Amino acid sequence: MGKSRQSSLTHHAFTAPGTMSMMAPILLTKGTSMGRLQGKVAIVTGAGGGIGTAISRQFASEGAAVVGVDVDTGALARMAAAVRAAGGGVSTLSDDVADDATAVAAVACALAEFGRLDVLVSNAVYDLPLAPLTGLSLADWRRTMAVNLDSAFLLSKHAIPAMDAGGGGSIILVASQLGSVARPGRPWYCAAKGALIQLAKAMALDHAGQHIRVNSLSPGPVETDRYVRNFDTLEAARASHHTLLGRLGAPDEIAAGAVFLTSDESAFMTSTDLLIDGGYTAV
């Protein structure tokens, strides 16, 4: 949601002994839909970003309608075009997810435009330059927590009654591998993402009786514009992967996890963190 800022911190590549860089697989595109989300309605925040757009597009390919929320109007328009091209219905809301009114409006939009709400993907993120805790201002700390953590609380608070009225649903809080392990210069990010993993577990306990499943989805390093702009070159970004598979992830690989967590294939899955990190956390 908020714009990323560049960092001058040098990143170093890691490749496990005996491994080679592997190409990202080709995933589902238009024409190969299985309709696993047919008739579902989803709110996706951070919908204009690389992962948010991939999730929205794959949701549409599987039969879902999407309400996309993002502060970047241009990115939001491109996401909407991608959803329509995939055959899905889409409505957009360009506003700040840190505001309670945005959460209210997003839920109201889903109900007014599509008649129900089945899915929430809380995916908004606000970046800061890499720095230790002592290098952060209180204003920056509060802003990143407002977007990265508070927005998940606000959207969930207003989405849950609508899901309950429709018989249940699925909530996905997009966290990170850095919610489980740490990297230098990322205290605010690690804190927020770790909190999202625990928030999903607590919500799953509270709302299982309403047939609402809550899981977190933790991507590893993924080749998105937000990630790449932290480096001087695309090659430097790709060399920073620290994964066992020798590459960055692709947005569609993360989106496939979101489709799974939303579909009936994961009907017996709640309070879990789905980690898609290329083996990043194994070392």
Question: Phi and psi of 91, rounded to 5°?
Answer: -135, 150
Q: In angstroms, rounded to a whole number, what is the distance separating the alpha carbons of residues 200 and 203?
A: 5
Q: Burial code of 36-45, b = ≥16 C-beta within 10 A, e = fewer?
A: bbeebbbbbb
Asked about 189 being catalytic, the answer comes back as: yes
Q: How far is CA 100 from CA 18, 97, 187, 276, in A?
A: 50, 7, 25, 30
Residues 31/32/35/39 CA torsion (nearest 10 deg): -30
Q: Are 64 and 42 in contact (CB under 8 A)?
A: yes
Q: Which one from 126, 189, 227, 280 is the annotated catalytic residue?
A: 189
Residues with active-site annotation: 189
